[in-house]
Amino acid sequence: MAGPAPATRTMNTSWPPSADTRSPRACQSRTRGVNVMADASLYASTGPERRDGRIEEGVLRSGAKRTSMLLRHRPPGIESKPPRPAAGFEYIDHGWIAVLRWLQANRIDYVLVGGVAKAIRGARRERGPVAIVPAPYGRNLDRLARALLAAHARLRLDSGVTDPEGTDTRPVKLTAEKLVRRQRWTLRCGSHDLDIEGRPPGVPRYQELLYEAVRFEPAPDVAVEVASPEDIEHYQHVSRTGVAPEFRLARNASIERG
């Protein structure tokens, strides 16, 4: 028994097809193709001063995307709005908190020393710049160098000394290799001062500092490792004299016996 006969298709061999056989989708597709070809022709035939159509608009959008990507990868900056100290730390300088928050936003590992560390531990009359001992591993120092570059860090000069431009700072370009040296860097980022302690002979190793440090939260979402009082005094002596303090063990000449 023969199966069902295949369906027959009638093909329209006339061109162009009549209006009643042309589908709306086909018309729209052909129209869009013509418009694109016309735009491309206009773009090719005119100079840069005439490129104000949809193609130029697409270029602008592409440039905007590139700009947003650059902004996304830029290190966070120091916030200008006044921070809100945590309860019990209302006496802490707002500029200090802004620098500590900036360090945390840039994922810098460090131990806090200096006068700010003393203030957080309760010495309310302490003043001075934020002083840190950064963790000495490569990626951390790379992040710190990028953050300082983005913050336009400059080297602070000694009191009474000015550069040829009449300012008390001068340009400096820091790298991870420079930050790991023995040198102590006294920097200014805008209106904020930051000291990065060096590693002269006799100072505690970073792991020793971190082991003795205590974590404080001087502001919401701002946690900082604060060095022990002994280590704070140690680094303050280094900043004053340039050398580590010497410890001498005194022994009694006689021993009392009960």
Q: What average pLDDT does the chain have?
A: 77
* pLDDT confidence bin for 4, thresholds 50/70/90: very low
- pLDDT tens column, 13-42: 444 544 444 454 444 444 444 444 444 444
- pLDDT tens column, 133-142: 999 999 999 9
Matching residue, tokens 């040829």: 164
**Beta strand extents in 82-184 (DSSP E only):** 110-113, 130-134, 154-156, 169-171
Domain 94-241 has CATH 3.30.460: yes
- At residue 244, the pLDDT reads 77
Q: What is the pTM of this model?
A: 0.67
Cis upstream peptide for 16 (omega within 30°): yes
- pLDDT tens column, 156-212: 987 555 555 556 899 999 999 999 888 899 999 999 999 999 888 888 999 999 999
Q: Where is pLDDT greater, at 74 or 10?
A: 74
Question: What do you get for the CA distance between the two ends of the chain, in Å?
Answer: 129
Q: Where is pLDDT greater, at 41 or 94?
A: 94
* pLDDT confidence bin for 154, thresholds 50/70/90: very high
Q: Is a pLDDT exceeding 60 seen at residue 5? A: no
- At residue 48, the pLDDT reads 44
Chain-centre distance of CA 21, in angstroms? 63
In angstroms and rounded to an integer, the radius of gyration of the C-alpha atoms of the chain is 34
Average pLDDT (113-126) is: 96
Q: Is a pLDDT exceeding 60 seen at residue 226? A: yes
Instruction: Collect contacts of 77-85 with beta carbons under 8 A, ≥24 apart.
Output: 77/102, 77/150, 77/151, 78/102, 78/151, 78/189, 78/190, 78/192, 83/219, 83/222, 84/219, 84/220, 85/218, 85/219
- At residue 193, the pLDDT reads 96
- At residue 235, the pLDDT reads 92
Q: Is a pLDDT exceeding 60 seen at residue 74? A: yes
The alpha carbon dihedral of 80, 86, 90, 93 has a sign of negative
- pLDDT tens column, 231-251: 999 999 888 887 778 765 455
- Where in the chain are the domains? 24-72, 94-241
